[in-house]
Amino acid sequence: MMKKTLVPLFLLLPISLLGCTSNEESSQEDLSFEENSSVIFTEYFQGSFTNDRAFEIGNIGNEEVSLSDYKVVIYKSGKASEPYEIQLNGTLKAKGTYVVAYSKSADEIKSESNQLDDSFPNIGKYPMALFHHGRMVDMLGTMGYSITWCDSVDLVRKNEYMMGRETFTPYDWIGYSNIDNANQLGTLACPMSEEEILKGPGISSPYDSYNFFKENSTTLGGGGFIDVTVMSYIDGDTTKFQYPQFVNDAGYRNGTSVRYENIDTPEIYHGGNSPAMPWGDAAADFTKGLLSKAKRIRLQSLPNVSITETYGRLLLYVWASDETSGNDSFYMVNYEIVKNGFSEVNFSGDTSSKMLYKGISYYQYMIDAQNKAAKEGLRIHGQKDPNYQY
């Protein structure tokens, strides 16, 4: 079976459907919304190879439906004036799925499909809508925009959000990564609940058996962990730690700063002409609060990636636990900072997109946390800092 390495990209935050012009709308399908449809999008698969793509329609109702009443319209370049239509065929049983794949996709994808299409556009950046009798019942992507909303990812709708949407809502979805085949296609339910996903990544194999440094290197990460203690707190995304002796021997002295991977919290006042930013002090207090109560702190490197960043700081994932032993109670501090609205996701590297926990990459967990914080308008996503002098 062909091996596929899937790298998820950022899922765009919702933008109004009003991005297209009235002339475009009037000449094409009716974009008015039909609520409470039992037939909706439930999955979108796009592999790392150009031809591998498919989407899944699910029937969340209790009765069989005729798909001859439904079609999918893909809007090239995000424009209503450039539609590509795929008419669906056959019937869809209650709680069943229907998969449409590009005819040049890999055999394992086509084997899961109910319908093949010879001209299926590469739609990771094109909005696509599901229509019933000419009225829209669900949407992926955002009309009026041709911006990548997913790429090289198996995008699965969460069980708690099995409903049609007039406007694409990224938080409804979670991206599964690095899948050997399209093994979620044809399965209506998401493997994890929203509650499980919101716990974030955990420490698991194979990383708990990896070394901190790559073999025969002290400059590249091995993907493993070291236990550390805090020496001093800098701000929301930077902390100084005391390291094991072998890390000191490699040239990283105690007190070398760690910059938290994938995040960038607002700045605090560091002196000079660099002013503090809203939520900067609050982010610093949040990080300090997590680490100060932790009974164990571990740092994780990224496999085959430089241990340090531009300014000589170590660039790592930071984990904390309120227990004195075992790995089950560890949580990722980087993730908690994003989930609580103190940072957007930054520095999206290929490696963090391949580091997995329960089939979901660290990076995609971060994106999901950001989508939740944005949906709720938490802190940097819309709230005013009550302790900041504007």
pTM: 0.89
pLDDT of residue 160: 98
- Nearest-angstrom CA–CA distance, 345 and 366: 7
pLDDT of residue 4: 34
pLDDT of residue 30: 61
Alpha helix locations (H) across the chain? 22-26, 107-110, 194-198, 245-249, 280-293, 333-339, 362-376
| CA-closest candidate to residue 317, choices 237, 375, 205, 230 | 237
- Nearest-angstrom CA–CA distance, 34 and 361: 34
- Nearest-angstrom CA–CA distance, 52 and 24: 30
Give the domains, in start order, of the chain with CATH numbers: 39-190 (2.60.40.1260), 207-381 (2.40.50.90)
pLDDT of residue 5: 33
pLDDT of residue 181: 55
Structure tokens at 230: 């805090």
- Nearest-angstrom CA–CA distance, 143 and 75: 8
Whole-number average pLDDT of the chain: 89
What are the two backbone dihedrals, phi and then psi, of residue 137, each rounded to the nearest 5 degrees? -120, -15
Q: Which residues of 275-284 are buried (b: 16+ CB within 10 A; e: fewer)?
A: ebbbbbbbbb
**Residue type at 222?**
G
**What is the per-residue pLDDT across 242-277, written as a single tens digit (0 to 9) for each?**
999 999 999 999 999 999 999 999 999 988 888 999
- Nearest-angstrom CA–CA distance, 224 and 190: 29
Location of structure tokens 């809502």? 169
| CA-closest candidate to residue 229, choices 311, 316, 145, 298 | 298
The number of CA neighbours under 13 Å toward the Cβ of 89 is 7
DSSP 311: T
- Nearest-angstrom CA–CA distance, 265 and 310: 17
Q: pLDDT below 70 — which residues of the chain?
A: 1-31, 146, 178-183, 348-349
